[in-house]
Structure 1
């Protein structure tokens, strides 16, 4: 008897699991969604132009006159806009009244310019205050914003790596609250930063918990339910994350001051520490650690709330099962598996490289498109809202698609459709509305593939190296959020360039996915030898439904033989 057998008796998706998932684990997704992207709006760059001290008296009531006589214009993305970093060299001190200001409107063609040396004026119509307006992070300091996003990604890479050890050694429950405490501390501290360096340190601290803090709601939801409900929980967690992006869009639209925004995206989650008394530890983790009495308390609570009964002598049978597993594990300690085992055979090596490349592509493009939403032009709050909202319809067809046409073709189609949509923006680069529509299609595609990939990868890696493979692929995939801000930085000169780069990545990942074998209906490989039996390079158009039926018959015959 194992835990799945126990859940079959006391309820795989009963009242207890539903309450924990809906009231605790799904809300537990919100901190990650909020803190992953609130920095985009804290560091938003409003339209700006050089400040001329002599013209300050006319700025409030005659802004257009001030800009026309002092700021050169430049063609940017097909539109003439005031230069953000240079000012005309003129004798502004002679202007003492409005009539004098008007006579300077006609600027000679050969008027020299210079870099702003008295700061900037910022358009406050969209934002009351951002770190950019407060510390003049524009022009020669513009890269500071990209650097902040890159170091935020580095913090996430390190934090995610450490989180795995914390979650496996201390448990799912303590890991969540440790990272929640770190996130709340640095999130609140962000609001009180007095300079860019301090703000950057606090943001790295927040980044340390992103996306690691998402791990506990995801893993605990999977481990509390039966095997038939794991796909449902995966979809629900992804829906909750998309809703977090939608809620963040509404919040940043309502709060235009970066310090208030930092507090608003953090303080509500302090209340999550009340979950300490309601959030259970994973019974699977407790059993694996030999903490049978603690697991028994949780099982009894599940049975009581689900109005079911525990099997007789179930705890004795569980002890026997897990003691036997530990004994076998000790006997097999002579066979240690490491990362190099993922590359020992050509078959597994190719699958590892392809999965890792696709993981890098998915992470890079998903984060890149989310970062890019405010830069699309038009209403950046609406753009970000749509970036989250368009993910929701994908889950309607994604679930049946994975079971009908298979994991591989679902993954491939999602990435190819998203990639083509991103590349198509080149054809309509001067039409912001069509560009936004194509962007949304690209976001739908990458959102779908991001759900399929982890499932498919877990079905391809053999059990003995599954944890290593998933960990390595996901960690290397997180290199994407470190470098993707550079791609968006390049988009400052050419709006659609980041979309073109991400489109190429998506199509390359989609084509690569066809090199992987279909896993629908396949039994999970246990050993490296089992993994070798699952082929590579099978770019065929075979009917996956027929494959599924064939696999079922094969497994049935094997069970009969046993």
Structure 2
């Protein structure tokens, strides 16, 4: 989020050399060339090589230090987008690695590398190395955050899942508020980067207190490790576990279900071919069966829109011409209700209705921007912030929803590939702002509103998960869906029989 302060669209004027006559343009945001007087007395247009930047808001930024204007202005959007490009590949790798090697290991690896690279970045001397480190940081974000989120969800029973799944994002909202004030106090990008990265070191010792997910251990066949963690949890919670024989029988059943799909295709292969086929199976399993495919594609569409709209609104302060620090702080305030009011909402309305509602609110608030006169700036900001509030709530609801619907054996892969769609949307957001924002400031947000409406439609493909148990295998998901269809069919048959009986009696 700090990228909003590091690469702003700054007003700039060409620093004219001695042989310059005039700058070609009087527009302080497009002075990219000047007219030079030649030896023959004529004038010719030459590209500007140095600029003076408006430092009334920021004292030093990546934009001004590396002259990211004119033919280098695309690097401003690239600095934001390359982080999400890294997140795209990180999400792809994390889904497979977390399901293979465990949630705790990937959380630890991702957090450690992210902490190292984030503390290195403020000391780098060139824009190319900055972009590379941003890419690495982007790879590590989903590696740590999504493995940790999945671990948190998998150790909670259904009655606590909604509270944990929503409240776990509340610190994000609070620190976005703080970030607005923090950016106001530290307006040099290097000092800003140093002081926001050092606190990452405080998180690393907490990794020592984490246990692996018992659900994942069971699916991977590590029953002794799962029993050890369950006994610790029972001791801490003063709970009584079922007999060990009963637990092991249940673990064996879950393990056998998880192995059914994977062993058939890999049995005849070996070496590299086997590894490649296993990786392909890991990807294909999300779209191979009918119910799993419906869930996966629906969430892909929603996560893509979430990334585009959320970050489009987050990085839109300079295009809307408002104070970036106030805009950031108010954006954080808009997220706080998502961490408090969302819990009773998803418990009473359900996950599907809640996500549909907030996608629709997002769409409505952004679509009206095209009809608001430019003079009513306060109304433009109000509607943009309403959209920010709604998309923040939708983000949390959809993330909770997806974590409940994806079975344990593919949960991190499912969330990981969904995050890939989020990062694609987030990668597009800065370029949408740069390109469409040059037409009118509200045009990019209008496009985001259309996308949010489309996302609201895709929620109808999903089943409700409010009172359902989290399933462990794709096979159990398909079986549950088939059972529900058979139950509905039987119910319809009984209804038809009753109607026929009533007709005969009449």
- TM-score calculated relative to the size of structure 1: 0.72
Equivalence map 1:504-523=2 (5 Å):
504-514=450-460, 516=462, 518-521=464-467
Q: Is structure 2 residue 321 aligned with structure 1 residue 377?
A: yes
- Corresponding residue SS for 1:231: helix
1:191/1:263 contact within 8 Å kept: yes
Deviation at 1:202, TM superposition (A): 1.3
- Residue 140 of structure 2: aligned partner: 209
Q: Which residue of 2 aligns with 1:51?
A: 15
Q: 2:429 aligns with which of 484, 491, 505?
A: 484
* Alpha carbons 2:14, 2:50 under 8 Å: kept: yes
What is the aligned counterpart of 2:389 among 444, 448, 468? 444
CA distance in 2, matches of 1:281, 1:364: 33
**Residue 421 (structure 1) shift:** 0.8
Residue 139 of structure 1 pairs with residue 70 of structure 2? yes
Q: Select which of 338, 354, 358 maps to 1:410.
A: 354
Mapping for residues 162-561 of structure 1, pairs under 5 Å: 162-292=93-223, 294-295=225-226, 297-299=228-230, 301-306=232-237, 308=238, 310-311=240-241, 314-327=243-256, 329-330=258-259, 340=284, 349=293, 352-430=296-374, 431-457=376-402, 469-493=414-438, 494-514=440-460, 516=462, 518-521=464-467, 526-531=476-481
Q: Using the TM superposition, give the Cα deviation of residue 204 of structure 1 relative to its aligned residue in structure 2, in angstroms.
A: 0.9
Verify the 8 A CA contact 1:160 1:211 in the aligned structure 2.
Answer: yes
| Distance (Å, rounded) in 2 between the aligned partners of 1:281 and 1:341 | 24
Q: Tell me if structure 1 keeps the 8 A contact 2:99–2:413.
A: no
* 1:403 shift after superposition: 3.0
Q: Is the 8 A contact 2:60 2:187 kept in 1?
A: yes
Deviation of the 1:383 alpha carbon: 0.4
1:246-293 CA distance string (max 9 Å, x none): 232232222111111221121121232222333333343344445455
- Which deviates more, 237-246 or 339-348? 339-348
CA distance in 1, matches of 2:254, 2:291: 29
- SS of the equivalent of 1:121 reads strand
SS at match of 2:2: helix
Aligned to 2:32: 85
Report the Cα distance in structure 2 between the residues aligned to 1:169 and 1:465, rounded to whole angstroms. Answer: 10
C-alpha distance in 1 between matches for 2:448 and 2:6: 25
Aligned residue pairs: how many?
461
> 1 CA distance for matches of 2:252 and 2:157?
22
- Offset, 1:437: 0.8
SS at match of 1:500: helix
Whether the 8 Å contact between 2:36 and 2:46 is mirrored in structure 1 is no
C-alpha deviations, 1:419-439, integer Å up to 9, x for none?
Answer: 111121222251322211111
3-state SS, counterpart of residue 266 of structure 1: helix
Distance, in Å, in 1 between the alignment partners of 2:4 and 2:88 is 19
Post-superposition offset of 1:515: 5.1
Shift of 1:298: 4.1
Deviations 1:42-99 (A, max 9, x none): 22233211113569xxxxxxxxxxxxx868434xxxxxx66433456689xxxxxxxx
CA separation in 2, counterparts of 1:410 and 1:113? Answer: 61
CA contact 1:71–1:82 (8 Å) conserved in 2:
no
Tell me the secondary structure at the aligned position of residue 46 of structure 1. Answer: coil
Equivalent residue number for residue 6 of structure 2: 42
**Cα offset for 1:460?**
5.5
- Contact persistence 2:86–2:136 (CA under 8 A): yes
Q: Aligned in 2, Cα 1:147/1:350: closer, same or farther, shift over 3 Å?
A: same
Unaligned 5+ segments in structure 2 are: 266-280, 486-506
**Gap change, CA 1:395 and 1:198, over 3 Å in 2:** closer
Give the conservation status (yes or no) of the 8 Å contact 2:32–2:48. Answer: no
Give the C-alpha shift of residue 369 in structure 1.
1.7
Q: Is the 8 A contact 1:339 1:469 kept in 2?
A: no
Shift of 1:406: 3.1
- Structure 1 contact 245–385 (Cα < 8 Å) conserved: yes
Say whether the 8 Å CA contact 2:15–2:52 is kept in structure 1.
yes
Contact 1:46 1:126 in 2 (8 A): no
Contact 1:363/1:480 (8 A) holds in 2: yes
**Structure 1 residues 345 and 487, CA gap change in structure 2 (3 angstroms):** same
In 2, distance between residues paired with 1:82 and 1:158?
Answer: 34
Unaligned runs of 5+ in 1: 1-36, 56-68, 75-80, 92-110, 536-562
Shift of 1:418: 0.8
